[in-house]
Amino acid sequence: MDLEEVAQGFAALGSEARLQVVLTLVKAGPSGLTVGDIQSRTGMAASTLAHHLKFLSSAGLVLQEKDGRSVVNRAAFDHLEGLAGYILKECCVDEGAR
């Protein structure tokens, strides 16, 4: 993961509403949720939710898959782990330099 990709991922999570959507999908696990399911769990208006899902999808944090007439949304667990790992890999590297 490069710095630009990481910055884009964290920027996408920088909205309380988008963070709520991602957390809802993380809680749902790998099976994901339809837009209607996310809407009922978050209370977001459909147009607002669609906007946030598009933003999260373009940042690679949400995967969307057509299932008949529905779209199933899933947290991109590998990408989310990559973001967390990018920050945590730097833990304490300067500690020994004192």
* Mean pLDDT estimate for the chain: 94
φ, ψ of residue 71 to 5 degrees: the values are -120, 120
Distance between CA atoms of residues 60 and 44, nearest Å: 21
Radius of gyration (C-alpha) of the chain in whole angstroms: 15
φ, ψ of residue 11 to 5 degrees: the values are -65, -40
In the numeric block, the tokens 């669609």 are attached to: 50
Angle subtended by helix axes 3-12 and 77-88, to nearest 10: 110
Domains of the chain, start order: 3-90 (1.10.10.10)
Global confidence as pTM? 0.88
36-57 residue pLDDT tens: 999 999 999 999 999 999 999 9
